């Protein structure tokens, strides 16, 4: 976001860095390189609306990394895989996992067979951004590169912040 302290004679970039105000850990966060849709001054507070959330700061703190950043997160956001039933032989051959990431985290996705044997680690400790739904794809192969057998499988999505999501899928020929 650009700002001027001399009525437009010169312009500087205002970095929006601070902490996630609406999450319990007050994690450090920034809204750099995002589109700004609205700006408002309310008393001594500057409010900014961006494509990734809102932020506020006391005008006297401009230039400091003390923004209060508010991200939208729906706790009821669904965890699912699609298409289900899934065939590694049809369509584009990819199954997509959809899941929420309430805080920036390292994400691991694992697929298990009906007997709970690990079949494939789709991603391992991959960093994902906070406050957005994330998607990752699996090609229906086990850790040795072979297409898995027809049957019922389970997937586990683990976040380094402690959230764990489970789901079920069916593999068809």
pTM value is 0.57
User: pLDDT tens across 53-99, in order?
Assistant: 788 999 888 878 888 887 654 544 678 888 888 889 876 788 999 88
What does the DSSP 8-state code read for residue 75? T
The two tokens of residue 135 are 């998607």
Nearest by Cα to 134 from 61, 70, 81: 81
Task: Kindly state whether residues 98 and 154 are assigned to the same domain.
Answer: yes
Task: Kindly state whether residues 59 and 21 are assigned to the same domain.
Answer: yes
Residue 163 lies in domain:
80-171
Cβ-contact 140, 54 below 8 angstroms: no
Distance CA(143)–CA(33), nearest Å, equals 37
Task: Kindly state whether residues 25 and 85 are assigned to the same domain.
Answer: no
Task: Kindly state whether residues 48 and 122 are assigned to the same domain.
Answer: no
pLDDT of residue 76: 45
Distance CA(131)–CA(105), nearest Å, equals 10
Q: Is the peptide bond before 151 cis (omega within 30 degrees of 0)?
A: no
Task: Kindly state whether residues 85 and 110 are assigned to the same domain.
Answer: yes
Task: Kindly state whether residues 88 and 109 are assigned to the same domain.
Answer: yes
Q: How many domains does the chain have?
A: 2
Distance CA(130)–CA(72), nearest Å, equals 10
Distance CA(15)–CA(63), nearest Å, equals 7
CATH number for the domain spanning 97: value is: 2.60.40.4070
Q: Quick check: is 75 in a domain?
A: no
């Amino acid at each position: 976001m650009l700002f001027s302290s001399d009525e437009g004679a010169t312009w500087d970039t205002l970095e929006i860095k601070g902490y996630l105000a609406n999450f319990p850990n007050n994690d450090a966060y920034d809204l750099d390189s995002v589109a700004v849709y609205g700006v408002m001054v309310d008393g001594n507070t500057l409010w900014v609306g961006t494509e990734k959330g809102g932020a506020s700061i006391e005008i006297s703190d401009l230039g400091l990394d003390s923004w209060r950043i508010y991200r939208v997160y729906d706790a009821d956001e669904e965890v699912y895989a699609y298409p289900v039933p899934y065939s590694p032989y049809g369509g584009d051959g990819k199954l997509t996992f959809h899941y929420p990431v309430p805080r920036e985290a390292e994400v691991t996705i694992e697929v298990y067979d009906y007997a709970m044997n690990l079949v494939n680690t789709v991603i391992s400790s991959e960093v994902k951004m906070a406050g957005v739904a994330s998607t990752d794809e699996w090609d229906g192969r086990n850790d040795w590169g072979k297409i898995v057998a027809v049957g019922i499988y389970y997937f586990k999505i683990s976040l380094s912040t402690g959230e764990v999501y489970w789901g079920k899928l069916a593999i068809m020929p």
